[in-house]
Amino acid sequence: MPANPPRPPDLRMPDTALPGDRLLLALKTRGPLSTAELGRVLGVTGEAARQQLVRLEAEGLVEGRREAGGVGRPRQSWWLTAEAQGRFPDTHPELTVQLIGSIERTLGAAALDRVIDARQEEQRKVYLEALKGARTLPDRLRRLAAVRSAEGYMATVRKSGDEYLFIENHCPICAAARACQGFCRSELELFQNVLGEEIEVERVEHVLAGGRRCAYSIREATATGRRR
């Protein structure tokens, strides 16, 4: 077992962070929220949250959407805009896309697949080392989330009934994944590989399919491959 296994990072910004930045991070990690909900998350009044939202909306970083549901007035929630998404880490998207295109055009699609497979193998070794000594599925997922967060994925784990939801709130290789979806295939295979054959992994949210994040349903399987 590693002497100092990675610990999942605290996705909260320090109290010294600017209020607007803390609000943007809350929407990034929690999804659309109402003004009152944002106030509770940030520990401020609803009016203070509203003032920040007015400023961020004027800057083109958030947008309000009304959602019908239940009885009464439609609920208004706040969403990040595409411009706000650009404030979060990305991995040199333009260069990455250019390199992917050059490899495919010059060497062929099979060569690009080999590059992706080689990257997957390197990641597999790193992840297996980080998960070494983790005996339970929750422990393995916490360690995996720590490694993925260090790579920029802002990963968290939630328990939901007899399964876990592994959430990646940000995709630092989104441009590469859009250029070649082999990266997404590789990611799913990688999780299955490092977590073990006795674990079922299913992608339930996908940025490239229109989701605001990628998320995986992960659970222990029975001998027949069905849910426990």
CB-based burial label for 209 (10 Å; 0-12, 13-18, 19+):
exposed
**pLDDT value of residue 82:** 84
Give dist(CA 6, CA 82) in Å, integer: 31
Structure tokens at 162: 């007899």
What is the pTM assigned to this prediction? Answer: 0.63
Question: What digits encode the pLDDT tens for the residues 186-217?
Answer: 899 999 999 998 999 999 999 888 888 999 99
Of 159, 126, 119, the closest CA to residue 141 belongs to: 159
Which phi and psi angles does 163 have, rounded to 5°? -135, 175
Confidence of residue 167 (pLDDT cuts 50, 70, 90): very high
Beta bridge partners of 160: 163
Of 201, 208, 151, 156, the closest CA to residue 183 belongs to: 208
Structure tokens at 26: 């809350």
Confidence of residue 183 (pLDDT cuts 50, 70, 90): confident
Q: Answer whether 216's CB lies under 8 Å from 191's CB.
A: yes
Q: Answer whether 179's CB lies under 8 Å from 99's CB.
A: no
Average per-residue pLDDT for the chain: 84
Indicate the SS3 state at residue 186: helix
**pLDDT value of residue 11:** 44
For residue 90, what are the CA distances in angstroms to 95, 100, 139, 174, 176? 11, 16, 28, 8, 10
Confidence of residue 70 (pLDDT cuts 50, 70, 90): low
Give dist(CA 58, CA 131) in Å, integer: 45
Averaged pLDDT for residues 134-149: 95
Question: What digits encode the pLDDT tens for the residues 95-140?
Answer: 677 777 888 888 888 888 888 889 889 999 999 999 999 989 999 9
Which phi and psi angles does 143 have, rounded to 5°? -70, -40
Residue 4 pLDDT exceeds 90 = no
**pLDDT value of residue 91:** 56
CB-based burial label for 86 (10 Å; 0-12, 13-18, 19+):
exposed
Give dist(CA 86, CA 205) in Å, integer: 20
Give dist(CA 92, CA 69) in Å, integer: 40
Give dist(CA 84, CA 30) in Å, integer: 15
For residue 147, the one-letter residue type is V
